[in-house]
Amino acid sequence: MEVVNDNSCSWVNDLSPRNNILTLSSDIDCEWLIIGAGYTGLSAARKLGQLYPGQKIVLVDAQLAGEGASSRNSGYLVDTTLNDGFTSNKELDNYKKKADIYKLGIDVIKKFIKEYQVDCDWNECGKYFASSKKEDKKILENFSETLSKLGFEHNLLSNKELKKRLGTNFYNIALHTKGGILLHPGKLVRAMIDTLPDNINLYENSLLLDWKKKNDTVICKFKNGSIKTKKIIFATNGFLKSLGLKSNYNFPITLTASMTRSLTKEEFVSIGEPKEWGVLPVRPMGATIRMTKDKRILIRNTAEVFNPYQMSKSELTKRSLKQKIGIKKRFPELPDDIIQSSWSGIVSRTRNSSQIFEKIDDNVFVAGCYNGSGIGVGTLFGEQIAVKASNENTKEIETIEARNKPTWLPPDPILSLGVRARLIYERFRAKSEI
Ligand SMILES: Cc1cc2nc3c(=O)[nH]c(=O)nc-3n(C[C@H](O)[C@H](O)[C@H](O)COP(=O)(O)OP(=O)(O)OC[C@H]3O[C@@H](n4cnc5c(N)ncnc54)[C@H](O)[C@@H]3O)c2cc1C
């Protein structure tokens, strides 16, 4: 496993640099240890900090806190999804369980930003599932039926209306859902770091190398120190498999995205001055594309099995070219050279798009695998895995545990080959939408 800090992501570069970064450099003991400081780990730490003000709680990350996928995502806090990664399950009962979890995820983030007065460019503008292919209307009509049965407000839109709303002629058909929020993921996760309770000891740039259980204690080895803990929560999402956690139930996928600079006044006028919007693809491997509050365009149109996970600059440049083409296809009137940054991020997938939320041993807990929708769900799962690890129960845990559990995956190399083949197939199906 390899994760390094980099300055490739616009969302991170928008923030002021943090100081007082502590790195683990000795051997320590604690009551609680959380590995991974993204939405999941930060949320677990917050909850434990509130539940146990007198106990020693340690949160560790291999890189700077929050600078993994949690600040590198597209910023859609979703209430509904059409595709989860490259699969979709519209069976009503299962879909409702999933949507119930999304709702709780939105609630937990709303509560957090209200309590701490967080400015994260929150915009309840809903989202579009859009396609350039008229024949995708059938998919959207079926989706519309599911949404109607579950009471989600939405409407179908055609090219003319879309051109007005999005500033591009590219899309011929879309379904707009009223629910769903667009936000700045970097600002959100930074607020989670800044407001951690005082009794949380945060160590960054400290990679967990190895861990084992000895009697009732978990012993964790880092490069320059070790931690002995009574209970541990793993919140490493895309890196669960590399730590040997639920290995036959999840696998990492590397995504890349690019963001333009802010459009100039003239450029913005040339596309009709649209309000902020977010489009998700109808076909699983199509592009996610967003117009931000400050008139930047974000595009994500790749998902790959990639080793070693994070991409080098030259690999990123190749993806950035694809993203430039994706923007040009939609906005031919804009200049060619407006991409300001391109970055990669690692997410975790399961076979049936379900999440992991589990006690895997007496004092070992895991939460992760949000299949590309982890802003709300990760924050929810972090909070609730802390409650579960405290041997308590809540309505939220009951809702989470009512979901279908992740299904078994074959070992490598069969798994990697299978996933690669599926990705190629889905890319082919979505080639006009990339
Ligand atoms: C390009 C992109 C677009 C996305 N778009 C969206 C979107 O629009 N909406 C949405 O809801 N979700 C989206 N996601 C997914 C979302 O970002 C994730 O689901 C979410 O960030 C998961 O949070 P997390 O805290 O579980 O994991 P992460 O944020 O990945 O945090 C895990 C942390 O664990 C640390 N770690 C790993 N291994 C070790 C180790 N051995 N020792 C110590 N620390 C370790 C990592 O450094 C990392 O900081 C997107 C992701 C990407 C990459």
Ligand 1: centre distance to CA 77 (Å): 14
Identify which has the larger pLDDT, 395 or 372.
Answer: 395
Q: Which helix (H) or strand (E) holds 161?
A: helix 159-166
Least Cα distance to 302 among 431, 173, 168, 183 occurs for 431
Instruction: State the average pLDDT over residues 85-100.
Output: 80
Question: Whole-prediction pTM value?
Answer: 0.97
Confidence check: pLDDT of 11 > 60: yes
Whether 370 contacts 377, CB under 8 Å: yes
Tokens of 342: 């391109």
DSSP 3-state assignment of 424? helix
Q: How confident is the model at residue 2 (pLDDT cuts 50, 70, 90)?
A: low
The CA–CA distances, whole Å, from 103 to 79, 81, 96, 97, 397 equal: 6, 12, 10, 10, 13
Instruction: State the average pLDDT over residues 130-148.
Output: 95
Confidence check: pLDDT of 202 > 90: yes
Q: Write out pLDDT tens, residues 401-416.
A: 999 999 999 999 999 8
Confidence check: pLDDT of 76 > 70: yes
Find the distance separating the first CA and the last CA of the chain, reported in whole Å. Answer: 29
CA atoms within 13 A on the CB side of 21: 13
Distance CA 124, CA 136 (A): 26
Confidence check: pLDDT of 87 > 60: no
Q: Which of 347, 353, 358, 369 has the most ligand 1 atoms within 8 A of CB, as the residue to mutate?
A: 347
Instruction: State the average pLDDT over residues 195-200.
Output: 97
In this structure, the residues whose C-beta lies within 6 A of any atom of ligand 1 are 3, 35-41, 60-63, 68-70, 72-76, 78, 207-208, 235-239, 243, 255, 257, 300, 345, 347, 368, 370, 372-375, 378
Instruction: State the average pLDDT over residues 262-278.
Output: 98
Q: Write out pLDDT tens, residues 328-343.
A: 999 999 999 999 999 9
Kindly report the number of other CB atoms within 10 A of residue 243's CB atom: 18
- 113: Cβ–Cβ under 8 A, 6 or more apart, which residues? 120, 122, 188, 191
* DSSP secondary structure letters along 285-338: TS-EEEE-TTS-EEEEEEEE--TTSSPPHHHHHHHHHHHHHHHHHH-TTS-S--
Ligand 1: centre distance to CA 38 (Å): 6
Ligand 1: centre distance to CA 287 (Å): 19
Ligand 1: centre distance to CA 228 (Å): 25
Distance CA 27, CA 9 (A): 33
Residue nearest to atom 53 of ligand 1 (CA): 345
Tokens of 136: 């995708």
Nearest atom in ligand 1 to 75's CA: 8
Tokens 């998919």 belong to residue: 139
The interaxial angle of helices 375-389 and 185-194, nearest 10 deg, is 30
Across the chain, mean pLDDT equals 95
Q: How confident is the model at residue 180 (pLDDT cuts 50, 70, 90)?
A: very high
Ligand 1: centre distance to CA 65 (Å): 11
pLDDT score of 88? 59
Pairing of strands 225-234, 27-35: parallel
DSSP 3-state assignment of 233? strand
pLDDT score of 83? 84
Ligand 1: centre distance to CA 314 (Å): 23
Ligand 1: centre distance to CA 156 (Å): 32
Q: What proportion of the chain, given as a percentage, has pLDDT over 70?
A: 98
Tokens of 393: 């129960």
Instruction: State the average pLDDT over residues 166-188.
Output: 98
Q: Write out pLDDT tens, residues 224-265.
A: 999 999 999 999 999 999 999 999 999 999 999 999 999 999
pLDDT score of 291? 98
Residue nearest to atom 2 of ligand 1 (CA): 73
Side chain identity at residue 315, one-letter code? E
Residue nearest to atom 1 of ligand 1 (CA): 73
The CA–CA distances, whole Å, from 407 to 129, 246, 349, 353 equal: 27, 11, 11, 9
Whether 233 contacts 211, CB under 8 Å: no
Q: How confident is the model at residue 290 (pLDDT cuts 50, 70, 90)?
A: very high
DSSP 3-state assignment of 406? coil
Distance CA 328, CA 286 (A): 15
| Per-residue exposure over 408-434, b if at least 16 CB sit within 10 Å of its own CB, e if not | ebeeeeebeebbeebbeebbeebeebb
